[in-house]
Amino acid sequence: MTNKEYADLLLPGVKHSWEEYEKMYPERDLDDKAIVTRYAPSPTGLPHMGNLFQAFMAMSFAKQTNGVFYLRIEDTDTSRTVENGIRKILDAIYPFGIEFDEGVISQTEEKGKYGPYIQSKRQDIYKAYAKKLIEEGKAYASFLTKEELDEIREQQSKSKQRLGIYGRYAKDRNLTKEETLERINKGQSYIIRIKSPGSFFNKIKVNDLIKGTIEMPENDIDEVIIKSDGLPTYHFAHAIDDHLMHTTHVFRGDEWLSSVPKHVQLFEILGFKPVKYCHLAPLTKSDEGKIRKLSKRKDPEATLSFYPENGIPNEAIMLYLATITNSNFEGWHDQNPDKQIKDFTFDFRKCSSSAGTLYDLPKLYNISKNYISRLTKEEVYNNTLEYAKNYDVELKEILEKYPDYSKAIFNIEREQKKPRKDYEKYSDVKGQIWYMYDELFDKYKEEYGYDFQSITDINEIKNIINTYIDKYYDENDDKETWFNKVKELSDELGYASNMKEYKENPDNFKGSVADVSTVIRVSLTTRSQTPDLYEILRLLGKDRIKERFNIVK
């Protein structure tokens, strides 16, 4: 019996040979420096921020080299696959602006010439390559039963040996073809393992583009490549897929780092060109001074739905991810605030190689605050409305009812060199502008309560606002005239209009012009902190101002 016939018996019904598959997946027509990479999630649940970070990084490096970034679904562990797993991944990742050049694009569609991009649809391919290894004597049928495997594991644990099927534990690796077929004919079930050519006592050096050079023992474990359900293991599928899809760089979590010796060996025995590895540390967080892993259970910011729910702009998230990808991004962005992420050149040498990447939500908020401050009034209006449509009906209705007025509100201290930084996220908007709308003012003023500061005597308050509206308010005043009048008002009522004088002799005055404007501000808005008061007065208009002054009690 030829080796080929033998391989056919071990893995029957395979439609194509590996040589045919090689032809079906020709080299990509790309620049030498182009990075081809992928995001390769398993449909085992919802992707989290760590996954998004990984996808962002892979995408950024691929795009800047005019390479290819694709989405591959790794669903070979059927016991962990969840219902609608692919849908969940796509729905979670797409809204963030992660763009795939090829791969799975919906539950039922793919784009690109290197598919199928769902591993469970590639079974024939894996088997074709497993047959190649069997034919070459580099893989074999292993009949170890679950009981035998348990016993080996127990024995190894007890005597503190490395776990796995290697050396004397790999007892089926030397079965002859005849012995193997005899067992198969008897109906014994089997899986396919590689015949590892490695020795644990040799060292290999792996140059990880993020972690640096790492020395590890060579793999000597006869790793499973085809499982009893006919599906490949992650290790085997990784080698075959990344070879056929011509991946150049593998970005993945560093939980895979210890498997690299297996992967390097698989590429070698399959005769594949090795890929470059970029292992990413998990995201961490500082919790009461201690650094720990970001946790989906404990930290809402680990969950991707947290971001749309709070109206955090995607662009800000991307800017933050760029900030934690490369240590020099932040400085670059500060100097080039109008440039886009794609104008920055990411560099592997500027990635953090440490055990964890700190994920700092306050920092993200700060980036987001700066980002929103630079948007136009139209953009803030549209983005807030978009957020409100999904998460705040009341806000949505008010914005839709008063589009121009709302835009004018958003325009206060905006579209200027140093814009006001009011909002970290669109969910902050209502809390900061509700008082500009009568409907919301009536509803929320009691709840928020008037935040009068130093002047609390209601008669004095009434005196200030009445004198102001009767004698000094003129809706046509420009800003300077307006402010001079507030000063005159202050002088008339015994408040210092000059802060310097006030500071020198506070006892000569009832207070200062600052206290007087606070009374006006709070009477109109209930808040002691608002954007520019002159603008607020202008937008509210005379009737509303009078009405609001009237109800202060």
* Of residues 17 and 42, the one with the C-beta less far from ligand GLU: 42
Beta bridge partners of 43: none
Can you read off the two tokens belonging to residue 266? 């698989």
Count residues near ligand GLU (CB under 6 A): 9
Report d(CA 440, CA 430) in Å as an integer: 9
Report the residue count for the chain.
Answer: 553
To ligand GLU, the closest distance from the beta carbon of 103 in angstroms equals 13
| Helix intervals (H) in 374-471 | 377-391, 393-401, 403-410, 429-433, 438-448, 458-467
Q: In this chain, which stretch among 124-132, 176-184, 187-195, 251-259 interacts with ligand GLU, using CB under 6 A? A: 251-259
- 139-142 and 191-194 strand pairing: antiparallel
CA distance 347 to 351: 7
Q: How far is the CB of 374 from ligand GLU (least distance, A)?
A: 35
Among 252, 279, 487, 521, interactor with ligand GLU by CB under 6 A: 252
- Does position 515 interact with ligand GLU (CB under 6 A)? The reply is no
Measured from the CB atom, the residue of 43 and 311 that comes closer to ligand GLU is 43
- Closest approach of ligand GLU to the CB of residue 263, in Å: 9
d(CA 377, CA 375): 7
The answer to whether residue 235 forms part of the interface with ligand GLU (CB under 6 A) is no
d(CA 209, CA 229): 35
Nearest residue (CB) to ligand GLU, 43 versus 164: 43
CB of residue 259 to ligand GLU, shortest distance in Å: 10
Using the rule CB under 6 A, is 299 a contact of ligand GLU?
no
From CA 27, how far away is CA 36, in angstroms rounded? 11
Residues 493-512 contacting ligand GLU, CB under 6 A: none
273 token code pair: 């060109």
Asked if 74 touches ligand GLU (CB under 6 A), the answer is yes
DSSP β-bridge partners for residue 104: 110
**Within positions 21 to 50, which residues make up the interface with ligand GLU, using CB under 6 A?**
40-42
Task: Return all residues near 368 (Cβ < 8 A) that are at least 6 apart.
Answer: 312, 313, 316, 317, 320, 424, 425
Instruction: Return the DSSP state at 28.
Output: P
Q: Least distance (Å) from ligand GLU to the CB of residue 31?
A: 23
Stretch of 188-196, 245-253, 373-381, 456-464 lying at the interface with ligand GLU (CB under 6 A): 245-253
| Minimum separation from the CB atom of position 40 to ligand GLU (A) | 4
Site for ligand GLU contains 269 (CB under 6 A): no
Taking contact as CB under 6 A, which single stretch among the options 88-96, 250-258, 497-505, 543-551 is the one that binds ligand GLU?
Answer: 250-258
Stretch that binds ligand GLU, among 81-89, 246-254, 354-362, 374-382 (CB under 6 A): 246-254
Place of tokens 């090689």: 22
Q: Which is nearer to ligand GLU, 85 or 511 (CB)?
A: 85
**CB under 8 Å to 192, separation ≥6 — which residues?**
10, 11, 130, 133, 134, 139, 140, 141, 142, 224, 225, 226
With left for phi above 0 and alpha for psi between -120 and 50, is residue 289 left, alpha or beta? Answer: left
Residue number with CB closer to ligand GLU (40 or 316): 40
Does 238 sit near ligand GLU (CB under 6 A)? Answer: yes
Residues of this chain that interact with ligand GLU (CB under 6 A) are 40-42, 74, 238, 250, 252-253, 256
